[in-house]
Amino acid sequence: MTEPSILHLGQVVIDLSMNIDHLPERGGDIFARRTAIKVGGGYNVIQAARRMGAPIAYMGAIGTGPMADMARGALAALQVPAQGPVLDNCDTGYSVAMIEPSGERTFVSARGAETRVPEGTYESMNLVPGDVIYLSGYSFCHKDNTRSLLGFAEKHQGEGFPVLFDLGPMMADIAPDVLDAVNGLHPIWSLNEREGPILAKRLGCQPETGDVTELESLCRSLSLRLDSPVVLRAGARGAWYCQPKDAMQSQYIPTPQVHAIDTNGAGDAHSGVLCAGIFQGLPIEEALLLANCAGALSTTQWGPATCPGEEAIRKAASSLRW
């Protein structure tokens, strides 16, 4: 029998990071102060899960060419199997991240093999008890990936496998019927403070009134509307967690205060460590606390895959326990 693992159904790409003083004006040109080329995208989640010692497999497509070779090498260095399809007619894609002094980042991406998952790929996966599934909202920007993921969602509805769904910045472009299909898996929905209000508006959520903060109210209303757990991440302000069966007992999760120099990959570090905590059977509040610490600490280093080691994460968490 296959050993259980975290199964990553997202996209590994190559990141070209450029630190700039400001975004150029339209038609303009500026020089970057610092540049780097590294494996990124879904790799950031994978690296974070491995930092916590959790097994994880990459199930997405990989191409053929220099970018794909970089991706394979980085996964192999983490002892992560690449079990998805290999496409011979294209290379793995890449993303240009422009990072301003505040840490804010702006992306331009080029599609590659990771966006062309053949139909039936994910439906044919054999899940075993203990598996944890990671889904990315970026997957649903690509028709081939969407088709295969919808087949996966239809096949595994009601089976109870833990699923983390990180919507990401492109979530406004995901079709309503796709969101409904994914929600049939009753995933943990992970959103940041920008994405939460957008989703709430799309779903017609009515925020609560009374003695609750705006973010807590938003988290509760989303969880009730989706009938699924919701994590609402608010950067330095921590995060809120709510599950529909106990929506009036939403949980605040603190986060360490740090000097952020690069927020690229912080959400990925959060997702990877959260998946690891779920896989390892930790209480959800503890898994979220570790994830918050990982996301915060990752912003103190340059680069997209900067999740710290388990010791540093647990040390930060120990100072925050409530």
Q: How much is the pLDDT for 250?
A: 86
CATH number of 6-318: 3.40.1190.20
pLDDT digits (tens, 9 = 90+) for 28-83: 999 999 998 999 989 999 999 999 999 999 999 999 999 999 999 999 999 999 99
What pLDDT sits at residue 212? 60
pLDDT class of 103 with cuts at 50, 70, 90: confident
301 versus 72: the higher-pLDDT residue is 72
Q: Could you state, in order of their start, the residue ranges of all structural domains in the chain?
A: 6-318
pLDDT at 315 over 70: yes
Whether residue 141 contacts residue 111, with contact meaning beta carbons closer than 8 Å, is answered with no
* CA separation for the pair 241, 11 (Å, rounded): 26
How many CB atoms sit inside 10 A of residue 169's CB? 14
- Point out which residues pair with 12 in neighbouring strands: 41
In the chain, at which residue ranges do the beta strands (DSSP E only) sit? 6-8, 12-19, 34-41, 56-58, 94-99, 105-110, 132-136, 163-166, 188-192, 230-233, 239-242, 251-253
**C-beta neighbour count of 13 within 10 angstroms:** 27
Residue 146 has pLDDT above 90, yes or no: yes
Q: Count the Cβ atoms, other than its own, within 10 Å of residue 300.
A: 15
283-299 per-position pLDDT tens digit? 999 999 999 999 999 99
